Structure 1
């Protein structure tokens, strides 16, 4: 299976980077072809420009600035996000990826004023995320990142596709052993992906 991995963390020595390396290695070990997109390493520009916004609904507009990412998304059979949650949301670079790449004609189309998903070729979805805060704290404000994956992205992909949301909450207070156990769980889950 061709898996698009979207990674969003600026520090190569972080626990997030260790998760990213684990995800990619486990998927490859399982025989998947991985399109690994490290948004920070690639210096992805998350800013939706004025011109891009004005042409947003024009599916024939010049999308050359993000064309390689669009092609990877269109070729993907599975999608895996590896990202921290900061201030109860995605890092700006990942949010900008969704704004600039998940476009009309790419991730959805509009028919008679209604949005119709077009990522039905994606047959599996997973998110590997870390939170500085506790699960209860995230729940108190609705845990937007979890809802984006389990509600927004889920309806864009193949109906009934398997979905995994692997989250380590309160990671700043986790012991080395707890972080290692989470890393091992992620490795096992990705090897079975």
Structure 2
């Protein structure tokens, strides 16, 4: 299978980078083709300009990097997003990726009534979102409203018709032991070896 990975973390020594390495290692063991869209290294511009908004209305992305990402997603069988949760949400580059790449007419469209959406990503059989945060899981859900689940999983992927969306949330990363972090990495590697 061809796996498209969208990665966002500016620091090469981050735990997210270690997760990316584990995902790649697992996929390589499984014999999969890997396509990494590293938003930081690619210099992706997350800003939605007036021209981008007009393109959104016209259902045709105009940002060259966003258009390239669209084409790469259209050739993938599985989509993986890896990013940290900062201030209860995704970093700016990942938000910009959602705004400028998950585009009408490109990766989804509207139903005839205009009230619903349909996926144009029929090639994508499943999506996995992997996040890190230092907030306890129960606090994230009860106090901060489970923002990623509501905004990204339900409000973006499921809303646009994607199926089989899974979220792997790694919580309390800074407070966890080295052994626990290494265990998580091994579990992730094993998970992706059998995708």
TM-score, reference length from structure 2? 0.90
Match of 1:56, SS? helix
Tell me which moved more, 34-43 or 117-126: 117-126
Q: Verify the 8 A CA contact 1:127 1:149 in the aligned structure 2.
A: no
| Residue 172, structure 1, aligned to residue 174, structure 2 | yes
Match of 1:136, SS? helix
> What are the residue-to-residue correspondences of 1:40-119 with 2, within 5 Å?
40-60=40-60, 62-110=62-110, 111-114=112-115, 115-119=117-121
Residue in 2 that maps onto 1:133: 135
| Residue 142, structure 1, aligned to residue 115, structure 2 | no
* Structure 2 portions without partners, runs of 5+: none
Q: Verify the 8 A CA contact 2:61 2:100 in the aligned structure 1.
A: no
Q: Verify the 8 A CA contact 1:121 1:158 in the aligned structure 2.
A: no
Match of 2:56, SS? coil
Tell me which moved more, 67-76 or 150-159: 150-159
Structure 1 residues 2 and 154: CA distance shift in structure 2, 3 A: farther
> C-alpha displacement at 1:24, in angstroms?
1.5
Q: Verify the 8 A CA contact 2:46 2:96 in the aligned structure 1.
A: yes
Q: Verify the 8 A CA contact 1:131 1:171 in the aligned structure 2.
A: yes
Q: Verify the 8 A CA contact 2:128 2:168 in the aligned structure 1.
A: yes
What RMSD, in angstroms, separates the aligned Cα atoms of the two structures? 1.8
1:106-162 deviations in Å (ceiling 9; x for gaps): 121123323222222210111121111110111122211133454231454554x3x
> C-alpha displacement at 1:63, in angstroms?
4.6
> C-alpha displacement at 1:83, in angstroms?
0.9
Residue in 1 that maps onto 2:157: 153
Residue in 2 that maps onto 1:9: 9
Tell me which moved more, 105-114 or 169-178: 105-114
Count of aligned pairs between the two proteins: 191
